[in-house]
């Protein structure tokens, strides 16, 4: 038994390593809503010259959120595939990704709510010869609340469209990570590492810790829903618990009653 | 009703069930067999283990590896409360040792309650629930990291945030005198297939009999 304990201790200590993660801003800004839609700007003409179409991009949303950000039970953030955002505003394609603060060098990409993905050819965003695949900017910040974010996919060349589908999904998931408030990490196992890696299938531990920090779930009852709002942030104005949240409590109570009530019934 | 009262009501429901169970236990005892409340605590246990979080769902390298065995050290203690000859209530607290980097620290506490069914002298099964308290805190500051064609400053967290999950737990334990080995599983988000995750702990335990009884 002592040997087993020592072996167990050695195995656990060998894995005592921790990945890092960062935020995009000093205040830890994040979406206030737990449910955020991810949409693709459906521009007439699109960015066909780069090989990127809106249809292609919209097909990447679901795997990018399903296989990455929506898998974490300790996070309350729920991303939704919002499909197309129909627009005729060509600034989505041609505009500069910048805060609407009067300092933009060219017309900016329009303000959005939630997360909007667009192909983009602006030379300030993607200078000639740039190896950037995509850029993301939360465009509407109010205090520490992100109201919306734009993900601009580099359409000045075929660097994005030339990637395999799995890598395109990973790039999009990475940019969504920026949109929800996460910065880069120095750990290559994490999705928020700055460059594309050979195989990216799931989040790393740093990504999980980061999204848990920004969107901590509060007493999730077995997945039925949270019983509380935002306790760690003062619980002021948190969401009302969904009715299903009670089912978890009741099931637990019923389980105990069933197990112990029956066993302990007085014998005659 | 304020949202903050919801967990209190949930806890009250649990308490009512436990009290009801205890009362029923008292009811079946003959007077000469009744024991003091403290005598219901048979043993206290000390635990050392390795906790694998979100089995097979966390990428650990650039090749897409998602290990099923990724233990982090864990310590804990528990008490065995006699309910019937074959059933025990086992409240337990475990602590996954903190992981830290760049001044950011993560602590995972498990506040647990199991019903343990003694299948034989050398083994038992457990069913129960945990409240997983996952705290992440940082001291703030910045780090310079690669960003596209250059580098940028990114920010480290400066607050303390806590995520709390309820898990559905199953376990199996084998005994060798005062020692035991246990496989304990924790299912997160049981009702949601998209977020459901399985964590588990391999635990070596020492149980100290409080009353020297066999």
- What are the sequence ranges of the domains in chain B? 1-34, 36-209
Crossing angle of helices A205-214/A165-179, nearest 10°? Answer: 30
Q: Are the beta carbons of A120 and B137 closer than 8 angstroms?
A: no
Does residue A13 lie within any of the structural domains?
no
- Rounded to the nearest angstrom, the minimum Cα separation between B183 and chain A is 13
Q: Which residues pair with B1 in a beta bridge?
A: none
Beta pairing partners, A152:
A118, A135
Q: How far is Cα B137 from Cα B141, in angstroms, rounded to an integer?
A: 13
Cβ neighbours of B14 in A, within 8 Å: 249, 252-253, 256
A183 and A198: one domain? yes
Q: Is A232 on the interface with B (CB under 8 A)?
A: yes
Q: Per the CB < 8 Å rule, is A194 touching B148?
A: yes
Same domain (yes/no): A167, A262: no
In a domain, A11, yes or no: no
Q: Is residue A12 part of a domain?
A: no
How high is the pLDDT of residue B4?
Answer: 41
Q: Whole-angstrom Cα distance, residue B104 to residue B139?
A: 7
Looking at the complex, does the CB of residue A5 fall below 8 Å from at least one CB of chain B? yes
Closest CA to B155 of A213, A216, A136: A213
> How does pLDDT run across A134-170, given as a tens digit for each residue?
999 987 777 889 999 999 999 999 889 999 999 999 9
CB contact under 8 Å between A248 and B166, yes or no, is: yes
Q: Which residues of A touch B94 (CB under 8 A)?
A: none
Closest CA–CA distance from residue A265 to any residue of chain B (Å): 6
DSSP A161: T
The closest CB to that of B134, out of A66, A74, A231, belongs to A74
DSSP for chain B, please give it: --GGGHHHHHHHHHHHHHHHHHHHHHHTS-GGG---GGGGEEEEEEEEEEEE-STT-S--STT----S--EEEEEEEEEEEESSSSEEEEEEEEEEEEEEETTEEEEEEEEEEEEEEE-SSSEEEEEEEEEEEEEEEE---EEEEEETTEEEEEE---SEEEEEEEEEEEEEEEEETTEEEEEEEEEESTT-TTT-EEEEEEEEEEEEESS---
For residue B17, the tally of other CB atoms under 10 A from its CB is 20
Q: How many CB atoms lie within 10 A of CB B1?
A: 8
- Is B39 within 8 Å of chain A by CB? no
CA distances from B6 to A20, A230, A246, B13, B136 (A): 34, 13, 9, 11, 24
Same-domain status, A96 and A116: yes
The reply to whether residue A259 touches residue B72, judged by beta carbons under 8 angstroms, is no
Identify the residue with better confidence: A228 or B143: B143
Q: Quick one: pLDDT at residue A144?
A: 87
In this predicted structure, what is the pLDDT of residue B5?
46
Do A30 and A109 lie in one domain? The reply is yes
Contact at CB, A222 and B166, closer than 8 angstroms = yes
* pLDDT tens, residue by residue, B69-107: 999 999 999 999 998 889 999 999 999 999 888 789 999
Class of the domain covering B36-209: mainly beta
Q: Identify the helix (H) or strand (E) that includes residue A166.
A: helix A165-179
User: Are A44 and A155 in a shared domain?
Assistant: yes
Instruction: Look at residue A33 and give its three-state secondary structure.
Output: coil
Interchain pair A16, B84: CB under 8 A: no
The Cα A31–Cα A29 span in angstroms is 7
Confidence of residue B9 (pLDDT cuts 50, 70, 90): low
Q: What is the model's pTM?
A: 0.83
Number of domains in chain A: 2
Report the C-alpha dihedral over residues A44, A49, A53, A57, rounded to 10 degrees: -130
CATH (domain of A68): 3.40.390.10
Residue A124 and residue A250 in one domain: no
Neighbours of B69 (CB within 10 A): 12
Confidence (pLDDT) at A98: 87
- Set of chain A residues whose Cβ sits within 8 Å of the Cβ of B142: 26
Tens of pLDDT, residues B13-25: 655 555 555 555 5
Sequence-distant (≥ 6) Cβ neighbours of residue B66 within 8 angstroms = A201, A202, B56, B57, B58, B59, B60
Tell me, what's the pLDDT at B205? 97
Cα-flanking dihedrals φ and ψ of residue B163, to 5°? -105, 140
Position B116 confidence tier, pLDDT thresholds 50, 70, 90: very high
Full domain range(s) for residue A240: 218-268
The residue in chain A having the minimum alpha-carbon distance to the alpha carbon of residue B106 is: A209
pLDDT tens, residue by residue, B168-196: 999 999 999 999 999 999 999 998 999 99
Look-up of token digits 């010259």: A49
CB-based contacts of A55, cutoff 8 Å, min separation 6:
none
Out of B60, B143, B195, the one facing A204 most closely (by C-beta) is B60
Based on the fold, state whether residues A90 and A204 are members of the same structural domain: yes
Q: Do A255 and B102 touch (CB under 8 A)?
A: no
% of chain B with per-residue pLDDT over 90: 68
How much is the ipTM here?
0.84
The A residues from 10 to 69 touching B (CB cutoff 8 Å) are: 11-13, 15-26, 28, 66
pLDDT for residue A46: 74
Mean pLDDT, all residues of chain B? 86
pLDDT of residue A129: 80
* Domain final residue, candidates A214, A232, A251: A214
According to the model, what pLDDT value does residue A49 have? 77
In chain A, which stretches have pLDDT less than 70? 1-19, 226-268
Q: Please report residues of A whose CB lies closer than 8 A to that of B155.
A: 22-26, 28, 183
Answer yes or no: do A205 and A227 share one domain. no
Contact A18, A176 (CB under 8 A): no
Residue with structure tokens 């505009």? A95
Both A177 and A225 in a single domain? no
pLDDT at B32: 47
The pLDDT value recorded for residue A229 is 42
């Amino acid at each position: 038994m002592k040997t087993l304990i020592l072996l167990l201790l050695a195995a656990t200590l060998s894995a005592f390593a921790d990945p890092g993660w960062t935020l995009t801003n000093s205040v830890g800004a994040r979406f206030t809503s737990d449910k955020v839609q991810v949409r693709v700007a459906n521009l007439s003409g699109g960015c066909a010259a780069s090989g990127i179409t809106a249809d292609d991009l919209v097909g990447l949303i679901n795997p990018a959120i399903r296989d990455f950000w929506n898998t974490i039970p300790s996070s309350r953030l729920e991303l939704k595939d919002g499909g197309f955002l129909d627009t005729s505003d060509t600034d989505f394609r041609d505009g500069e990704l910048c805060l609407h603060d009067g300092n933009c060098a060219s017309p900016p990409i329009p303000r959005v709510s939630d997360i909007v993905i667009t192909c983009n050819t602006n030379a300030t965003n993607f200078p000639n010869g740039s190896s950037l695949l995509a850029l993301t900017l939360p465009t509407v910040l109010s205090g520490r609340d992100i109201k919306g974010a734009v993900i601009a996919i580099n359409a000045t060349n075929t660097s994005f469209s030339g990637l395999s589908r799995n890598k395109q999904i990973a790039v999009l998931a990475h940019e969504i990570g920026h949109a929800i408030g996460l910065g880069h990490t120095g750990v290559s196992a994490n999705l928020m590492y700055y460059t594309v890696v050979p195989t990216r299938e799931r989040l790393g531990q740093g990504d999980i810790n980061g999204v848990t920090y920004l969107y901590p779930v509060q007493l999730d009852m077995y997945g039925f829903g949270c019983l509380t709002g935002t306790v760690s942030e003062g619980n002021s104005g948190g969401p009302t618990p969904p009715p299903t949240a009670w089912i978890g409590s009741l099931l637990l109570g019923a389980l105990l009653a069933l197990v112990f009530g029956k066993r302990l019934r007085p014998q005659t | 009703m304020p949202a903050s009262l919801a967990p209190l009501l949930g806890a009250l429901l649990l308490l009512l069930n436990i009290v009801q169970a205890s009362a029923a236990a008292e009811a079946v005892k003959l007077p000469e067999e009744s024991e003091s409340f403290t005598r219901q605590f048979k043993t206290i246990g000390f635990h050392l283990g390795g906790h694998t979080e979100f089995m097979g769902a966390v990428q650990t390298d650039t090749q897409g590896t998602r290990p099923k065995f990724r233990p982090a050290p864990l310590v804990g203690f528990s008490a065995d409360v006699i309910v019937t000859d074959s059933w025990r209530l086992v409240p337990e607290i475990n602590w996954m040792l903190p992981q830290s980097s760049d001044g950011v620290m993560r602590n995972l506490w498990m506040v647990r309650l199991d019903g343990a069914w003694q299948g034989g002298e050398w083994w038992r099964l457990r069913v129960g629930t945990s409240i997983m308290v996952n705290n992440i805190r940082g001291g703030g500051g910045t780090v310079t990291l690669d960003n596209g064609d250059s580098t940028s400053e990114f920010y480290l967290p400066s607050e303390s945030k806590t995520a709390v999950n309820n898990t559905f737990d199953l376990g199996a334990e084998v005994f060798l005198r005062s020692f035991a080995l246990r496989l304990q599983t924790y299912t997160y988000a049981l009702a949601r297939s998209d977020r459901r995750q399985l964590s588990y702990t391999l635990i070596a335990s020492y149980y100290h009999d409080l009353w020297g009884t066999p």
